[in-house]
Amino acid sequence: MVTQIRVLLADDQALVRGALAALLRLEVDIDVVAEVGTGDLVVEAARSSGAEVCLLDIEMPGVDGIEVAARLKKELPGTRSLMVTTFGRPGYLRRALDAGASGFVVKDTPARDLAEAVRKVHAGLRVVDPALATESLLGGPNPLNDREREVLRECLDGAPAATVAERVHLSPGTVRNYLSSAIGKTGTSNRVEAARTAQRNGWL
């Protein structure tokens, strides 16, 4: 009898989640034991289903996939995470691996390769999309510190510095200092451009 790998799927798009489940269920050694649509449900669903590998989208409501990977590593260290995302951004790759994810592939990965990635992660190996790995190495590390990332996230909707200061509970002067530093590091000319550049690179 073939031993099956117990897999959990987490993606906020039901159509994508269903397609991934259907593809993986064609494999004789993979069993999709749970599906969830938000990040905050993953740890409990993994615990109750006995999932061994969790396939995580990055941008999900509630808690993003990178934070979920960190929680799984802490609360269920025997359960491995594989990021499967539309957003093949070098900054996301680095952050996901730092959080404890065992692999990172994009959603247009062929079904056969995705199944093989699940097997490798289950076996304790690390799997990374090769093109993204090269791009990540060439792009270097995230230049932003935690505070700069925090204030830039609040600038994505175009909010003025005073509003951002209220949201992050810092003085307007302190926020302006962080924004000035972030603008310099991203090589942009204003806070909104800096925020969008950082988001595009997966640094937020």
**pLDDT tens, position by position, 26-64:** 999 999 999 999 999 999 999 999 999 999 999 898 899
Query: What are the pLDDT digits (tens) for 127-141?
Result: 988 777 766 655 667
Q: What is the CATH number of the domain that holds 195?
A: 1.10.10.10
Where does the pLDDT of residue 184 fall: very low under 50, low under 70, confident under 90, or very high at 90 and above? confident
Single out the residue in 97, 121, 138 at which a domain terminates. Answer: 138
Q: Rounded mean pLDDT of 173-184?
A: 90
Domain carrying residue 103: 5-138
Closest CA to 8 of 81, 68, 74, 70: 81
Residue type, 161: A
φ/ψ of residue 36, rounded to 5: -135, 155
Q: Let me know whether 79 and 28 are in one domain.
A: yes
Q: Let me know whether 92 and 29 are in one domain.
A: yes
Q: What is the CATH number of the domain that holds 27?
A: 3.40.50.2300
Q: Let me know whether 101 and 124 are in one domain.
A: yes
Q: Let me know whether 79 and 169 are in one domain.
A: no
> Residue 53: which H helix or E strand, with range?
strand 53-56
Q: Let me know whether 134 and 156 are in one domain.
A: no
Q: Let me know whether 10 and 111 are in one domain.
A: yes
pLDDT at 9 over 60: yes
Contact 201, 162 (CB under 8 A): no
Which range is least confidently modeled, 6-10, 30-34, 132-136, 147-151? 132-136
pTM value is 0.69
Number of domains, the chain: 2
Q: Let me know whether 176 and 124 are in one domain.
A: no
Q: Let me know whether 109 and 187 are in one domain.
A: no
